[in-house]
Amino acid sequence: MARVGDTCWCDGCGVEITWGPVVANHRIYCCIECQQGRPCSCGERQELEEDRRRSADSAPVVYE
């Protein structure tokens, strides 16, 4: 697992973990699927969340 400051990445898929990780055998995973060696969709979910934040930031502000 790579760690820079308070940021860490999953030992399974490499996604940046911004939530509570799964810890097993001194390794850190983004989810139980990665911990068990199965494919996960955490990276896709994280991208969707980032897209939602970006679109909310760029939304016009309406003053009434």
C-alpha distances in Å from residue 34, one per residue of 6, 26, 42, 54: 21, 14, 9, 27
Residue 22 pairs in a beta bridge with 29
Sorted by where each begins, the domain ranges of the chain are: 3-52
| Its pTM surpasses 0.75 | no
Q: Could you report the average pLDDT of every consecutive run of 10 residues in the chain (64 residues)?
A: 74 91 93 94 82 70 66
Q: What is the pLDDT of residue 27?
A: 93
Q: What is the pLDDT of residue 6?
A: 76
Paired tokens of 50: 């980032």
The amino acid at 27? R
Under 8 Å between Cβ of 42 and 22: no
